[in-house]
Structure 1
Amino acid sequence: MEILALHSKQILLILSLVLLIAGGLWIAFRMRRTLLLLGGGNVPDGQTAEAVVLLSEEHPASYLQGDAYYTFQVHVKPVRGRNFVTEVHVLREQLKRIPQAGDRVSVKYNYSGRRRNVVLNLDSLPSV
C-alpha cells in the first residue's frame, strides 16, 4: 500500500510540474504578442519604404488588452536591398483608415540582427 502511495505522489508531482511549465509557456506567448502589438515605437530612425498590402486580417480582441487589432501581410520594396514579405500588427485605435489588400502604404523598417522590424507609417494613411 505504501508503494502505491509513493507512486501517486510522484504522479501528482509530475502533473503539477507539467501544468506549471504549460502555464509559463502560455504566459510567455501572450506577452510576446503584446510586445509585438506595442513594439512599433522602436523604429524611430528606420528607413522608409513603399509596401503593398497582401492581406488584411482583423482580430476582434487580444487576450491581455481587450483591444481589437489588425494583422497586415505586406510586401516591402526597399530602395536598396531585396524585397521581403512580413507581417505587421497594429491596434485598431491607431488606424485612421484600414488598408485593404492591394493598397500601397508607406512603412518604416530597421534591421536588427537577422530580423527586420517593420511598422506602418501611420501618418501616410489618408483619412476616410
Structure 2
Amino acid sequence: MEILAIRAGQMLLILLLAFLIFGGLWFGLRFRRTMLLLGGKDVRDGQVADAVVLLSEEHPGSYLQGEPYYTFQVHVKPTRGRNFVTEVHVLREQLTRVPQAGDRVSVRYNYSGRKPTVVLNLDSIDSV
C-alpha cells in the first residue's frame, strides 16, 4: 500500500507542476497580447497599401452608430508581407462614391494582435 501512496503523491505533484507551467504560459501569452493591444500603434500611424474591393454590400435595414452602413470585403496587397482579405464597415454618410467590386482603393492597416485593423482611405476613393 505504501508504494501506491507514494505514487499517488508523486502523480499529484506532477499534475500540480503541469498545471502551474501551463497556467504560467497561458498568463504570459495573454499578458503579452494585452500589452501589444494597449501599446499598439494607432491606425493613423499604420501602413498604406493598395486593395481590390471583392464585395460591396449595403445594409439598408441595419444601423451602425444609428446610421446605415456598407460592408466591403477587400483584398489588401501590402508592399511587404502577405496579402490578406478582410471586411471593412463604413458609414454611408462618409462615402462620396461607393466603391464597387473590382475597384482599386487605398487602405491603411495596422497589425495589433492577431488580426489586422484596416481602414479605407476615404480621400482616395474619388481619385482611384
TM-score bracket relative to the smaller structure: 0.5 to 0.7
Q: Which runs of 5+ in 2 are unaligned?
A: 1-41
State yes or no: 1:104 paired with 2:107.
Answer: no
Deviation at 1:63? 4.6
Partner of 1:87: 87
Deviation at 1:66? 3.1
Amino-acid identity (%): 81
Question: Partners in 2 of 1:65 and 1:115 — Cα distance?
Answer: 23
Q: How many residues align?
A: 86
Question: Partners in 2 of 1:84 and 1:90 — Cα distance?
Answer: 19
Question: Partners in 1 of 2:55 and 2:64 — Cα distance?
Answer: 24
TM-score, normalization: structure 1? 0.63
Give, as a single letter, the amino acid of the residue that structure 1 aligns with 2:82.
R
Pair 1:60–1:46, CA change in 2 (3 A): same
Question: Partners in 2 of 1:65 and 1:118 — Cα distance?
Answer: 18
Pair 1:61–1:43, CA change in 2 (3 A): farther
Partner of 1:43: 43
Deviation at 1:115? 1.1
State yes or no: 1:120 paired with 2:126.
Answer: no
Partner of 1:25: none
Partner of 1:12: none
| RMSD (CA atoms) | 1.5
Q: Which runs of 5+ in 1 are unaligned?
A: 1-41
